[in-house]
Amino acid sequence: MGGGTTWVVGERQNHNGTANLGMVTTFIGVGAVMGAAGWFGVSVACEEDPDCPRGEECKEIPALPGRVPYKQCMRRPGP
């Protein structure tokens, strides 16, 4: 946002150096947003569980306090 503002102010006041700096920082910011979106998409993607049959996923079943939760294969929710 700051890069875009610097870019606009530099263009309006005819300061080429300021406009160029604003343009560069805007493109860096856009690249950072796109990179963050890609990283987020990869981090939340579904992974197939090798312990469960196709179409099922491993879900953790809560246990009583002080006990260890266990995992069970369950059908994936439909679209």
What's the rounded Cα separation, in Å, for the pair 2 and 6? 6
Alpha carbon 42 to its chain's center: 7
Q: Is the pLDDT reported for residue 35 higher than 90?
A: yes
What's the rounded Cα separation, in Å, for the pair 17 and 27? 16
Confidence of residue 78 (pLDDT cuts 50, 70, 90): low
Alpha helices in 1-79 (DSSP H): 2-12, 16-43
Beta strand 70-75 with 56-61 is antiparallel
Q: Is residue 76 within 8 Å of residue 57, measured between CB atoms?
A: yes
Residue scoring higher pLDDT (46 or 31): 31
